[in-house]
Amino acid sequence: MIEQLAIDAFNSRLTANLNTIKTMRPAQLDTLKNEGSQAEALLKNRELALFIHQYKFELLDALSAITGHTEEDNSRRVAIANQLAGIDGFVTTLKRSVYMKDKIVTQQASPTEPKFNLKGNEVL
């Protein structure tokens, strides 16, 4: 059974893309920046990278051990390919979080352009 904590986390997750970060509240942007920083720490973690690559090598060894062309063998190949795609999807999710964090930081660091009215006077 799924824990209530997991359900609440799923329901309250923050989904963002490049179009929505411009309209988010500061608290939401801080949450995205925090997630991006955590993802960046994971991507830079040498042990995690070692385990991910070790897992991929194990899957590739299992894939190369399949020598037949029966329906069962082909199903195993598809299952291993799906596992490889899953781990690549996980890494891509981490990279996307880092990219979003960098975009938010860049957006917040850039000076805001002054706005002018029709007479050319700066509007505060």
Give the pLDDT confidence of 55-83 residue by residue, as tens digits.
999 999 999 999 999 999 999 999 999 99
User: 37 in a domain, yes or no?
Assistant: yes
Q: DSSP letter at 19?
A: T
User: Hey, what's the torsion of the CAs at 31, 35, 37, 38, to 10 degrees?
Assistant: 140
Residue 7 lies in a domain: no
Q: Into how many domains does the chain fold?
A: 1
Structure tokens at 70: 């029966």
Q: What is the mean pLDDT of the chain?
A: 89
Does 124 reside within a domain? no
Question: pTM value?
Answer: 0.78
Q: pLDDT-based confidence at 17, cuts 50/70/90?
A: confident
Domain encompassing residue 91: 14-106
